[in-house]
Amino acid sequence: MLQIGICDDDSRMLSVYENAVRESLERCGCAGRLMIYQNSENLLWDVTEDGFHFDLLLALVFSFRPLDK
């Protein structure tokens, strides 16, 4: 069984990703356990402190930096 983590702070997008993953698992006939996170600190805690292991981790991360002139 695949262990899949999904993280996004936007609950609407989180639902979109979760549905897409569930549909993909069903389409390929794969078993999967989804862990859903709306707070990246909770995800980080589960991985670093509780020793969770994910076969696939979906997390949308934005990093902004000023443009060089």
> How far is Cα of residue 61 from the mean position of the Cα atoms in its chain?
11
pLDDT above 60 (res 65)? no
Name the pTM for this structure.
0.80
The edge-to-edge listing of strands for the beta sheet with 56-59 is 32-37, 2-7, 56-59
Tell me what pLDDT residue 59 has.
Answer: 82
Helix then strand then coil, % of the chain, to nearest 5: 40, 25, 40
pLDDT in tens, 9-58: 889 989 999 999 999 999 999 999 999 999 989 999 999 999 999 999 98
Burial class (CB in 10 A: 0-12, 13-18, 19+), 43: buried
pLDDT above 80 (res 61)? no
